[in-house]
């Protein structure tokens, strides 16, 4: 004798699963949004560092003296 769930039981289980999945989707969306913020910040930082390296390479190639460190 097998027990088949009633339609209302099936609907209740589906509603629970839907609620859980919605919570997971919201959590994943928040994580992705935070990661994009980090990626954006790191991309800007890499661009600044690349500019500094290119500027240093240009000064070294042109023989221009290095500017003194900022604490002078």
Quick one: CA dihedral 15, 20, 23, 28, positive or negative?
A: negative
Listed by start position, the domains of the chain span 32-61
Residues 59 and 66: beta-carbon distance below 8 Å: yes
Side-chain half-sphere exposure of 42, counting CA atoms within 13 A: 6
pLDDT for the residue 1: 46
pLDDT category of residue 57 using cuts at 50, 70 and 90: confident
**pLDDT tens digit string along 14-25?**
999 999 999 999
Q: In terms of pTM, does the model score above 0.85? A: no
Q: Which pLDDT belongs to residue 11?
A: 96
């Amino acid at each position: 004798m097998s027990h088949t769930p009633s339609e209302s039981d099936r609907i209740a289980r589906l509603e629970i699963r839907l609620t859980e999945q919605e919570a997971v989707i919201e959590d994943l969306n928040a994580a992705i949004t935070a990661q994009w913020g980090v990626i954006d910040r790191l991309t800007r930082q890499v661009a600044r560092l690349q500019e500094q390296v290119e500027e240093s390479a240009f000064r070294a190639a042109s023989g221009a003296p290095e500017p003194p460190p900022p604490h002078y």
